[in-house]
Amino acid sequence: MRSQKISQQSKVRITDSFWRKRMDIIRNEVIPYQWEALNDRLPDAEPSYAVQNFRIAAGESEGEFKGMVFQDSDLMKWLEAVAFSLEQDPDPELEAIADGMIELLERAQQEDGYLDTYFIVKAPDKRWKNLRDCHELYCAGHMIEAAVAYYEATGKEKFLNIVCRYADYIASIFGPEAQKLSGYPGHQEIELALVKLYRVTGNPRYLKLSQYFIDERGTQPHYFDVEKEVRGDHEQFWWKNDYAYMQAHRPVREQTNAVGHAVRAMYMYAAMADLAKETKDEPLWEACQALWQNVTRQKMYITGGVGSQAYGESFSFDYDLPNDLCYTETCASIGLVFWAWRMLRNEVNREYADVMEKALYNGTISGMDLDGKKFFYVNPLQVSPENITERQERAHVKPVRQKWYACACCPPNLARLIASLGHYIYSAHDQQALIHLYVGSEIELDLAGRQVKLSQQTHYPWDETVIICVTPDKAAEFTLALRIPGWCQKARLTVNGEDIQLKGCMKNGYVYLERLWRAGDQLKLHLAMPIERMRSHPAVRANAGKVALQRGPVVYCLEEVDNGNFLDQMVLPRDQALKCYFDKSLLDGIVVITGEAERAGRVSNETALYFNQGLSSDSLKFKAIPYYAWCNRDPGEMLVWIRER
Amino acid sequence: MRSQKISQQSKVRITDSFWRKRMDIIRNEVIPYQWEALNDRLPDAEPSYAVQNFRIAAGESEGEFKGMVFQDSDLMKWLEAVAFSLEQDPDPELEAIADGMIELLERAQQEDGYLDTYFIVKAPDKRWKNLRDCHELYCAGHMIEAAVAYYEATGKEKFLNIVCRYADYIASIFGPEAQKLSGYPGHQEIELALVKLYRVTGNPRYLKLSQYFIDERGTQPHYFDVEKEVRGDHEQFWWKNDYAYMQAHRPVREQTNAVGHAVRAMYMYAAMADLAKETKDEPLWEACQALWQNVTRQKMYITGGVGSQAYGESFSFDYDLPNDLCYTETCASIGLVFWAWRMLRNEVNREYADVMEKALYNGTISGMDLDGKKFFYVNPLQVSPENITERQERAHVKPVRQKWYACACCPPNLARLIASLGHYIYSAHDQQALIHLYVGSEIELDLAGRQVKLSQQTHYPWDETVIICVTPDKAAEFTLALRIPGWCQKARLTVNGEDIQLKGCMKNGYVYLERLWRAGDQLKLHLAMPIERMRSHPAVRANAGKVALQRGPVVYCLEEVDNGNFLDQMVLPRDQALKCYFDKSLLDGIVVITGEAERAGRVSNETALYFNQGLSSDSLKFKAIPYYAWCNRDPGEMLVWIRER
């Protein structure tokens, strides 16, 4: 087994005040809680059956398969989160639990390598008969990802061997050869997992299989029609009879418009970026870029949420970004982080890192409460509780976070994202080290033949200053590149107290410092974070005449608990000064934005519904909090986009 | 047969320029077109099967029942419209067609009086087994209404006799007696029809049956549960398992909150008002008033549209009046006219007439194009075509009017409303004549023992002046009452050139003129119609910071064809002067409103989705047209509520 794993990834230590707290919550709350959930031991949540299904598959328990067709994947995401957590914080007890689970996986694995409990237990004759709907390859993908992470965290090979056997078997089923099926997953995921497996094992079979799935997708005759005919299924496909739902309406290289189920799209685009890199596939890279432009310039919420409609949890048309009807699944924002990271690895450009950061500080972590006990699946940008509970079109939106879902994709997905945060901060190649995110952390890198330690100290995203220490084991010449975020209009950088003229050394939003670095060199980066009034492209109807408050990467919102209800009636005068301060006692410590606004005067139920008088207005001292922290106090209304006068 | 029909109703002759045109369209276009539709002779529309179903029921044709379970009602609404049209404009050819159809009804009628083609042809064993869903009593109601109208228009009794036999049979099935079913309709309609039948025949059996249906509704044990059990049906009722859908969640006298399917609600409330009058039922009248307050103060669009959600074509919660998601079925606005008229008959108060007028000039006739050839089922207050075609939540909204629907309730309903407009203008009792609507027309009344002719000449709703001539056959003392519309802040009235001080003789929005009237007396009513900027109760979130333009009873909108797209980006300065003028060549002649507004500058697709700069704005000369006339030119965006700065 040849490990190609990128050295810096396993060596980041997170010390950051903002993220460390969340990682601790993942380790101390979420992972143990989810283990209980996966084992059906939570008294107040629907049973998951995920572990039990494996016991039955292994012949060690009686019973029927229960749960969704993709129930296995919850467990795999959990195992992956455990791996990332162990990487950061070794924990023999947790590792023993994971090892036990992996042994159960091994016992459940079939002779031929197959390992999906739904089909082993419930429908052995249906294996690979309905790729469109049945998530077999999706579950396999999550298993592979978990195994790679577990191997990288622990060095143990058992799980990796399990998934290699499974992947080898899958490669014997799918491919261009006449005797093989020319299928591909209905829910993309295995594509990016196979690239990871290739990178960690060096076995090109896995890269080729990933490539095959991507290349075959959406070609004619359409595989989903072919397998449908074989099944004798004559039903129309539920999503407008359109395979755009799973981005299989045309070959991926011809796709320039993000459509369909947003999570599927994100996972596929991530795999496309991986493959473009590994295979130097220029048309594939061009497709990635076109899709990136479309998503980030026409289809993304200011929070980094994507997928604006509930129907099919899908993308809508360009600029259709309603704030109260949106779906913006937590998992889709997580997928956007995965994709952005891969785009960034292919091309160092802050555009990618800015979006990754936006999603990380807003639309992903909004999915979890500050205790890590409750989760949003859907992340609206405007909520009025009665609107949600009483109107059918908003039935997908929940006014408060929920415990454990029957379809529990988001909580374990968030767990694995946060636990793996260390993977997204730095990268290095050749003579360069790059810092993409400002997160208190340390890393050791091999650079120019030397061991170089980098560390960041910061109170980001609240504080404007980041101190970076560079400690090569011996003075060495290399390039250190720092991202100057797109939201920052005024950055200042000193090296050992000496001002750097950024203009001369900026490229694609990164400042490149090429010099002889010595132990003790210190960089001080100052990123001005004034409160910004963000506006939308005029084609975004929902935001006409409205502003969103943002400071640094953090998007703000108003909550009823601070500002009363009928937040739509609040109007922020254009010249109103806004202030901010750090409140360490509020919501685990946040920067609060305050100001004065007008609000239409209150009237009673007796008031006519329509009248020709102007409404009187009151003055209101308002308080805005970070969007991600909403709904951690008394539930009620929430609003991101505020009317401006 | 004792006719109690109210004399003035059959003697109104409409001469009005606004309405006469529409009545001619109903007579010359809609009625003949619909007859072709009902006979499946339209090459470009789905067949209706309505007439064919009766032929099969009469044993005169072979085949299966086709169409909706309530397909008969389309034909009945058509027959009622024909009756109203004949009343206004005798037409022997049309009457012969109707007579032929009525003869077919007679031949299709069963021995016992039953007459519903779905059950006669398709499910004879299912009669009265599923009142909740199967519309039997609803269809019977429309048949009764048609028969009453036909009798009043033509004096012919055949159709009336058919429905009396049917109603007698129904009265033998339903009632409090032990051997009878204690059921009531799933779709209300027969209740108000039976009151009409009672009024025209004088037979108290019909009044009692109507009362029974209303009194029994929503009582426990719940009839719909009882019949469900008998059917062996264990499914939950599709609408949240809640009989509020058909206002059967509790006894009607306990209902104060308008809920459920809006058309059902309107028809039921209308019947409740009828019964409250006929039976002097005070608690029932109080329920009518409470529901009226709720609908008109919390749940009605400024166009007179009701029923703001597509799910169940139903009312939503108080003040939930989104402009782009609304359902606001044409039929529901029509039902609001029916209800308002009955409220007004019970209590002379302009509040009722104002709403009736609002619906007549806006939310009802918006359902039909100016040619009477295409129809809206759903009447949104804001449309962007791509938003409709590409977003699932708006699938119920159509960007352009449609030809003939499979469920064709709205076109024939509009036909019968417009054809019967003469019924809503005047009323008279004792020594009083009341004018509720300003419509060019003539009527002859029995008043104080004299024959009195009243006539109106006006170019309403465009012109501010109405000339009313009073012509008693001999000088007579009686009271003439004129409504001063609620939208009018400044009314002036002269009688024979002499100013009347309105203050002294106003009551509930009507000015009462009690005097000795002589032939040749002339009243001149001047109703000032400045352009009003209407605002909404602050609890209407959708309209926060927005105004709707209104002049007289007519609500205005912006269309893309006049103002370009992205109408949301238009902002009307608060102090901007607005002008209006009559354009006789536009949209059959309308008053146009114009002014200047600002619009956020155009930017390209390359523009960032979010940015911290203010948007530049252009000045725009805009043009607003009456809401009812939208979508009669190039289709595109439409907007009623305009942002105001």
B560 catalytic residue (yes or no): no
β-bridge pairing A579-583 and A590-600: antiparallel
The catalytically annotated residue of B134, B288, B409, B410 is B409
A:B CB pairs within 8 Å: 149
Task: Give A643's contacts (C-beta < 8 A, 6+ positions apart).
Answer: A545, A546, A568, A570, A571, A572, B544, B545
Q: Which residue of B lies nearest to A486 if distances are taken between CA atoms?
A: B611
From residue A3, how far is each of A160, B32, B164 by CA, in Å? 12, 81, 90
Q: How do residues B141-154 score in pLDDT, each as one tens digit?
A: 999 999 999 999 99
d(CA A98, CA A218): 38
Is residue A224 within 8 A of residue A237, CB to CB? The reply is yes
The CA distances from residue B164 to A62, A207, B72, B119, B183, in Å, are 68, 80, 17, 19, 20
Average pLDDT, chain B: 94
Q: Which residue has the higher pLDDT, A9 or B394?
A: B394
- Nearest CA among A623, A635, A465 for reference residue A549: A623
Sequence spans of domains, chain A: 7-424, 426-527, 531-644
Distances (CA, A) of A501 to A481, A511, A518, A527: 14, 10, 21, 14
Q: How far apart are CA B2 and CA B25, in angstroms?
A: 34
pLDDT digits (tens, 9 = 90+) for B208-239: 999 999 999 999 999 999 999 999 999 999 99
Q: Two tokens at A629?
A: 């922290």
Judged by phi (left if over 0) then psi (alpha if -120 to 50, else beta), residue A581 lies in beta
What percent of chain B is modeled with pLDDT above 90? 88
Whether the Cβ atoms of residue A211 and residue A157 lie closer than 8 Å to each other: no
C-alpha B492, offset from chain centre: 30
Residue B309 near residue B325, CB atoms below 8 Å? yes
Alpha carbons within 13 angstroms on the beta-carbon side of residue A302 total 36
Residues facing residue B532 across a β-bridge: B550
**Segment B182-196 mean pLDDT:** 98
Which residues of chain A have a CB within 8 Å of the CB of B550?
A: 612
Shortest CB distance from B538 goes to which of A300, A387, A566? Answer: A566
Q: Which of B291, B322, B295, B294 is nearest to B306 (CA)?
A: B295
* Marked catalytic residue, from A189, A313, A464, A560: A313
Return left, alpha or beta for B456; rule: phi > 0 is left, psi -120 to 50 is alpha, else beta.
beta
Amino acid at B529: M
- CB neighbour class for A181 (10 Å; exposed up to 12, middle 13-18, buried from 19): middle
Distance of CA A154 to the CA centre of its chain: 24
Question: Nearest CA of chain A to the CA of B115: how many Å?
Answer: 37
Contact status, residue B335 vs residue B258, Cβ threshold 8 Å: no
The shortest CB-CB distance from B535 to any of A534, A538, A615 is to: A615
Q: Is the pLDDT of residue B18 over 60?
A: yes
- Model pLDDT, residue B323: 96
Kindly tell me if the per-residue pLDDT of B312 is higher than 90.
yes
pLDDT at B284 over 90: yes
Q: What is the pLDDT of residue B406?
A: 57
Token pair for residue A585? 């006692």
Lowest mean pLDDT, pick from A404-413, B505-514, B528-537: A404-413
Structure tokens at A573: 């005068």
3-class state of residue B510 by DSSP: strand
Q: Residues in chain A with pLDDT < 70?
A: 1-10, 404-407, 605
For residue B536, the chain A residue with the least C-alpha distance is A610
Catalytic residue among A134, A139, A288, A409: A409
From chain B, the residues in CB contact with A390 under 8 A are 316-317, 320
Residue A461, preceding peptide bond in cis (omega within 30° of 0): yes
Cross-chain Cβ contact B605/A297 below 8 Å: yes
Grade residue B393 by pLDDT with cuts at 50, 70 and 90: confident
The token duo for A308 is 């604006």
DSSP per-residue string spanning A545-595: TEEEEEETTEEEEEEHHHH-S-GGGEEE-TT---EEEEETTSTTSEEEEEE
Amino acid at A476: A
> How many alpha carbons fall within 13 Å on the CB side of residue A252?
32
Name A486's bridge partners: none
- The pLDDT of residue A387 is 79
Give domain B426-527's CATH superfamily: Golgi alpha-mannosidase II (2.60.40.1180)
In the structure, what pLDDT confidence band is assigned to residue B403 with cuts at 50, 70 and 90? Answer: confident
Q: Is B346 exposed, middle or buried (0-12, 13-18, 19+ CB in 10 A)?
A: middle
B445 Cα to chain A: minimum distance (Å): 36
d(CA A259, CA A248): 10
Q: Which of A384, A533, A538 sits opposite B612 (nearest CB)?
A: A533
Name the 3-class secondary structure at A481: strand
Could you tell me the end-to-end alpha-carbon distance of chain A, in angstroms, rounded to an integer?
Answer: 64
Chain A residues touching residue B566 (CB < 8 angstroms): 538-539, 541, 544
CA A305 – CA A316 distance, rounded (Å): 13
Q: For residue B9, what pLDDT band results from cuts at 50, 70 and 90?
A: very low
Per residue in B590-641, pLDDT (tens digit) is: 999 999 999 987 777 678 899 998 888 889 999 999 999 999 999 999 999 9
Count of Cβ atoms closer than 10 Å to residue B187 Cβ: 23
Of B318, B391, B536, the CB nearest to A610: B536
Half-sphere exposure of A78 toward its Cβ, with a 13 Å CA cutoff? Answer: 27
Nearest by Cα to A470 from A498, A490, A495, A436 = A495
B612–A534 C-beta distance less than 8 A = yes
Query: Annotated catalytic, A477?
Result: no
pLDDT at B4: 40
What 3-state class would DSSP assign to A508?
coil
Contact B545 A387 (CB under 8 A): no
Annotated active-site residue in B95, B145, B313, B329: B313
CB contact under 8 Å between A609 and B533, yes or no, is no
Closest Cα partner for B514 from B499, B497, B527, B495?
B495
**What residues contact residue A644 under an 8 Å CB cut-off, 6+ apart?**
A533, A545, A546, A547, A571, A572, A573, A574
For tokens 């779905």, the residue is B118
Q: For residue A239, which amino acid is it?
A: W
- Using one digit for the tens of pLDDT, what is the confidence trace for B327-360? 999 999 999 999 999 999 999 999 999 999 999 9
Beta-bridge mates of residue A627: none
Interchain contact, B537 vs A603, CB within 8 Å: yes
Tell me how far apart the alpha carbons of residues A81 and A32 are, in angstroms, rounded to a whole number: 11
Whose CA is closest to A209, among B486, B26, B409, A217? Answer: A217
CA distance A72 to A39: 12
The residue with tokens 């196979």 is A194
> What is the spatial distance between Cα B353 and Cα B116, in angstroms, rounded to a whole number?
36
- From chain A, pick out residues whose CB is under 8 angstroms from the CB of B302: 609-610
Q: Taking Cα atoms as reference points, which of B487, B558, B493 lies closest to residue B529?
A: B487
* DSSP per-residue string spanning A41-56: --TTS----HHHHHHH
Measure CB to CB from residue A309 to each of B320, B392, B605 and give the nearest one: B392
Nearest to B546 by CA among B555, B537, B394, B554: B537
Per-position b or e across B493-523, b if 16+ CB within 10 A of its CB: bebeeeebeeeebeeebbbbbeeebeeebeb
Contacts of A261 in chain B (CB under 8 A): none
Mutate to test the interface with B, among A609, A615, A644 (most CBs of B within 10 A): A609
Q: How far away is chain B from the Cα of A138, in angstroms, using its nearest Cα?
A: 27
Question: How many other CB atoms are found less than 10 A from the CB of residue B42?
Answer: 16
Its sign, for the CA torsion B313, B319, B325, B328, is positive
| DSSP symbol at A121 | I
- DSSP assignments along A546-557, one per residue: EEEEEETTEEEE
Q: How many residues does chain B have?
A: 645
Count the Cβ atoms, other than its own, within 10 Å of residue B527.
25
Question: What fold does the segment set A7-424 form as a domain?
Answer: Glycosyltransferase (1.50.10)
Q: Give the 3-state secondary structure of residue B109.
A: coil
ipTM above 0.95, yes or no: no
